[in-house]
């Protein structure tokens, strides 16, 4: 990752990081099997849970961690290890991770001027998910 790619991604993410609910919604929408892994949301209507306090609390934790990773680029090894340690035991699949990525990118395309940041995001997400796939 170049310094230019990192600053592009950080500026791009800055615009949406306050909308953790919208981001988690996009991820669950992209792959309902991700939602099913969350015991308190499994089997529930996404449109209904979206407006609840527990959904917001989970969204803040997940997007908060993602935000930490973006802010620490390119030094994300410790974050990747922490993610693998918590998510490998949950049997998260590569398909689910790819769908998380697709849901996130879909969200960014709908809510930001994505074209100028697309290649920087591509390189960043390749780095992050590539590091995860190497370990789980």
Least distance from C-beta 25 to ligand HEM, angstroms?
A: 14
Is 66 a residue that touches ligand HEM (CB under 6 A)? Answer: yes
Is 38 a residue that touches ligand HEM (CB under 6 A)? Answer: yes
Is 87 a residue that touches ligand HEM (CB under 6 A)? Answer: yes
Binder of ligand HEM out of 25, 28, 100, 121 (CB under 6 A): 100
Is 62 a residue that touches ligand HEM (CB under 6 A)? Answer: yes
Q: Where are the alpha helices (DSSP H) in 73-117?
A: 77-87, 94-111
Is 37 a residue that touches ligand HEM (CB under 6 A)? Answer: yes
Cα distances (Å, whole numbers) of residue 30 to 124, 125, 135:
20, 17, 24
How much of the chain is helix, strand and coil, in % rounded to 5? 75, 0, 25
Find tokens 């306090």 and name the residue.
53
Report yes or no: 22 and 107 within 8 Å, Cβ to Cβ: yes
Binder of ligand HEM out of 60, 65, 112, 127 (CB under 6 A): 65
Site for ligand HEM, rule CB under 6 A: 34, 37-39, 61-62, 65-66, 86-87, 90, 92, 96-97, 100
């Amino acid at each position: 990752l170049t310094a230019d790619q990192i600053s592009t991604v950080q500026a791009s993410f800055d615009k949406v990081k306050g909308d953790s609910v919208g981001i988690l919604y996009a991820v669950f929408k992209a792959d309902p099997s991700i939602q099913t892994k969350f015991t308190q949301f499994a089997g529930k209507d996404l449109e209904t849970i979206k407006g609840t306090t527990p959904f917001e609390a989970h969204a803040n934790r997940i997007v908060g961690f993602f935000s930490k990773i973006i802010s620490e680029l390119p030094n994300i090894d410790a974050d990747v290890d922490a993610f693998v340690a918590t998510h490998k035991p949950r049997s998260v699949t590569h398909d689910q991770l790819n769908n998380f990525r697709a849901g996130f990118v879909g969200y960014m395309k709908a809510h930001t001027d994505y074209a100028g940041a697309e290649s920087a995001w591509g390189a960043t997400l390749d780095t992050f998910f590539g590091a995860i796939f190497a370990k789980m």
